[in-house]
Structure 1
């Protein structure tokens, strides 16, 4: 999924893809690159609520344990079970390896387009 034109991004480095009734959330390529080799992921349960700006997943890499923050408020309708056994898929295909699927989406303000997000990452590296 090299085409990121339909994706939106958060400043905490998660991506959001709206696809009809489905909304998927994953880690950006920038985030996985900063984390290094991902070895474990802890995701919420189906039915859990995720709240914009709050942590919804723990991600352990060889470098550190980090959190993923929800870019929107919604209810978890599915988790990517494949990542539970193979979290390294996030490193090899971050834009295909969604973490959670949500419904009942609220608070979608502040999401960046792919171009805006790229500029944000470039400015972050320069600082």
Structure 2
């Protein structure tokens, strides 16, 4: 699996565990075989889009394509609205340390606006 796929697989596992679901319970909800979920979480198989969509919906997650330039703002918002242990935070594979949504330019700090 590629690095990005590993992050997604880990995020799905954290989301499943965060909801207190076993792989078997998630399999029933998503209509995906439990053995496939085990392989996905163990990075033993490439994650298919259809499986990802089914698992995400079963975990009350949404998949969205986000412009790369907007990603820092989106990640900041998901941290603020969901907290550090949420499925959304897990889905973005954010590190535990939080970063500011924006920074001030040096000029503004010198003018006394900071």
The answer to which structure has the higher helix fraction is 2
Higher Cα Rg: structure 1 or 2? 2
Shorter-chain TM band: under 0.3
The answer to which structure has the higher strand fraction is 1
Q: TM-score by structure 1 length?
A: 0.25
Q: TM-score by structure 2 length?
A: 0.27
